[in-house]
């Protein structure tokens, strides 16, 4: 929670019984060294008093838009600019409706319009009020118009102060604190660009046939997700896979190795990290027949001449001017994985090789779990067995350490 020290949080309290929990939140924030300015609506004052919140925040509570003496201190526009974040907890159905309509008929709604800072909204109300289509419409509208300037801290389900059971309880103080702290987390890969290849490639023989492999793309997609969660701009160049396109990642679909090569080189400028998880076909048929190949009577064999595909990974790691700071390859081997992995590290001029023993059927290619060894010129680190999601997080954190 150290992230919250010296931060300026405007805490808006609207009329709801959960307001008593917000008093506790204000106390916790003050203890963490956060500057807290509390703003109460008229409705809030029926549940908590300005005096209580003044004592807990150490600042005069604001509750009126038309208060000349308060405006003479920090005017409402100044107050809106002062806040690093605005947290509205609890946010009543009425305050959400007014915000969704863009109204500014009290100090809090005015501040919400005037601030350029992100607003965190913690709705709390009776479960039927929360479920009402009008409230849900207001919520959708708010999310639509405010975009990433609004974060809704969705209410939890459970027993309510009114005796009902259902969704509508305000999140606990500890969850609200965590959500606020997350806002100021500087993520390890913020500002970094990461290009990742994933999945198999398909090398066409004729219009209906191709050569490919069993790669599922799961490892590459998990790495893309982990890099995005660490704050990176992620460019995911993927061969044909049966996985949903991940959110908040730039997805580029390709088919053949040559397509993948071209797309990677189009994207690589300015990349800090390149991770090649794709199972790229080493060879492709020399020509793609323009019509479907037919069986020839009396001919029991057929010969396809194959030519080598470009090595995408080696081409990136040998870039002269714009080589990414960190280049990572995968080595899927069936025998002597570490020996082949190490030779790949050197031959392809890599910073890391993730070695996979694909002779095992419980890990690797189509599985959800994997167990690897991360090789660098100075280290050899076994990781797993664990889910590909967790493994991806571990690999990204190892890469981050090496950048530092
Ligand atoms: O040499 P090998 O194919 O075993 O190396 C595997 C690594 O090289 C993987 O990271 C794979 O994504 C990458 N690779 C590539 N382009 C190729 C072949 C492999 O990027 N044509």
| pLDDT of 384 above 90 | no
Both tokens assigned to 175 = 């969850």
First-residue to last-residue Cα distance in the chain: 23
Q: Where are the alpha helices (DSSP H) in 40-106?
A: 50-57, 68-73, 76-82, 93-100
Own/partner contacts of 25-29, CB < 8 Å, gap of 24 or more, are 25/89, 25/173, 25/176, 25/177, 26/53, 26/56, 26/57, 27/56, 28/173, 28/177, 29/4, 29/57, 29/177, 29/180
Structure confidence at residue 2 (pLDDT): 82
How buried is residue 279: exposed, middle or buried, by Cβ count under 10 Å (0-12/13-18/19+)? buried
Express each pLDDT in 59-81 by its tens digit. Answer: 999 999 988 888 888 899 999 99
What average pLDDT does the structure give for the chain? 94
Rounded to an integer, what distance in angstroms lies between the CA atom of residue 55 and that of residue 49?
10
Catalytic position from the list 113, 128, 145, 162: 162
Structure confidence at residue 365 (pLDDT): 61
User: Contact 65/12 with Cβ under 8 angstroms?
Assistant: no
Let me know if 162 is a catalytic residue: yes
Express each pLDDT in 116-136 by its tens digit. Answer: 899 999 999 999 999 999 999
Ligand 1 centre from 282 Cα, in Å?
8
- 321 CB contacts (<8 Å, ≥6 apart)? none
Identical topology for domains 2-181 and 193-403: yes
226: phi then psi, degrees, rounded to nearest 5 = -65, -40
> Which residue has a Cα nearest atom 13 of ligand 1?
313
* C-alpha closest to that of 351 among 312, 386, 311, 398: 398
Looking at the DSSP bridge assignments, the partners of residue 354 are 330, 374
Q: What is the DSSP letter of 247?
A: T
In the chain, the percentage of residues whose pLDDT exceeds 90 is 84
CATH H-level superfamily of 2-181: Flavin prenyltransferase-like (3.40.50.1950)
* Residues with a CB atom less than 6 Å from ligand 1: 197, 257, 276, 278, 280, 282, 309, 311-313, 329-331, 344
Structure confidence at residue 350 (pLDDT): 98
* C-alpha closest to that of 94 among 108, 113, 77: 108
How buried is residue 391: exposed, middle or buried, by Cβ count under 10 Å (0-12/13-18/19+)? buried
| Domain ranges within the chain, ordered by starting residue | 2-181, 193-403
* CATH fit for domain 193-403, picks 3.40.50.10300, 3.30.420.40, 3.40.50.1980, 3.40.50.2000: 3.40.50.10300
Return the axis-axis angle of helices 173-183 and 19-31, rounded to nearest 10°. Answer: 50
Ligand 1 centre from 22 Cα, in Å?
55
């Amino acid at each position: 929670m150290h992230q919250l020290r010296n931060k300026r949080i405007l805490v808006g309290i609207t009329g709801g019984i959960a307001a008593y929990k917000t008093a506790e939140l204000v106390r916790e924030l003050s203890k963490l060294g956060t500057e807290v300015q509390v703003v109460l609506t008229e409705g809030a004052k029926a549940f908590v008093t300005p005096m209580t919140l003044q004592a807990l925040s150490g600042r005069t509570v604001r509750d009126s838009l038309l208060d000349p003496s308060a405006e003479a201190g920090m005017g409402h526009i100044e107050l809106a600019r002062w806040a690093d974040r605005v947290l509205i907890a609890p946010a009543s159905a009425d305050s959400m409706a007014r915000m969704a309509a863009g109204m500014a008929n009290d100090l809090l709604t005015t501040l919400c319009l005037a601030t350029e800072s992100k607003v965190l909204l913690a709705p709390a109300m009776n479960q039927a009020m929360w479920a009402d289509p009008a409230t849900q419409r207001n919520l959708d509208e708010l999310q639509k118009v405010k975009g990433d300037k609004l974060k809704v801290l969705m209410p939890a389900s459970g027993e309510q102060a009114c005796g009902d059971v259902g969704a509508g309880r305000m999140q606990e103080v500890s969850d609200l604190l965590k959500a606020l702290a997350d806002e100021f987390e500087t993520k390890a890969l913020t500002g970094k660009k990461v290009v990742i290849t994933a999945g198999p490639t398909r090398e066409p023989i004729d219009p209906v046939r191709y050569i490919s492999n069993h790669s599922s793309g799961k490892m590459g997609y998990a790495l893309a997700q982990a890099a995005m969660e660490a704050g990176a701009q992620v460019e995911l160049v993927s061969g044909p896979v049966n996985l949903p396109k991940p959110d908040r990642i730039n997805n580029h679909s390709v088919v053949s190795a040559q397509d993948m090569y071209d797309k990677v080189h189009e994207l690589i400028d300015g990349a800090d990290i390149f991770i090649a998880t794709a199972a790229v076909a080493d060879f492709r048929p020399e020509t793609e027949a323009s019509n479907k190949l037919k069986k020839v009577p009396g001919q029991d064999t057929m010969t396809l001449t194959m030519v080598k595909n470009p090595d995408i990974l080696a081409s990136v790691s040998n870039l002269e001017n714009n080589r990414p700071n960190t280049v990572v390859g995968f080595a899927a081997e069936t025998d002597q994985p570490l020996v082949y992995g190490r030779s790949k590290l050197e031959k392809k001029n890599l910073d890391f090789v993730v070695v996979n023993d694909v002779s095992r059927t419980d890990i690797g290619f189509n599985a959800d779990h994997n167990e690897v060894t991360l090789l660098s010129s100075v280290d050899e680190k076994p990781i797993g067995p664990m889910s590909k999601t967790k493994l991806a997080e571990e690999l990204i954190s190892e890469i981050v350490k090496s950048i530092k």
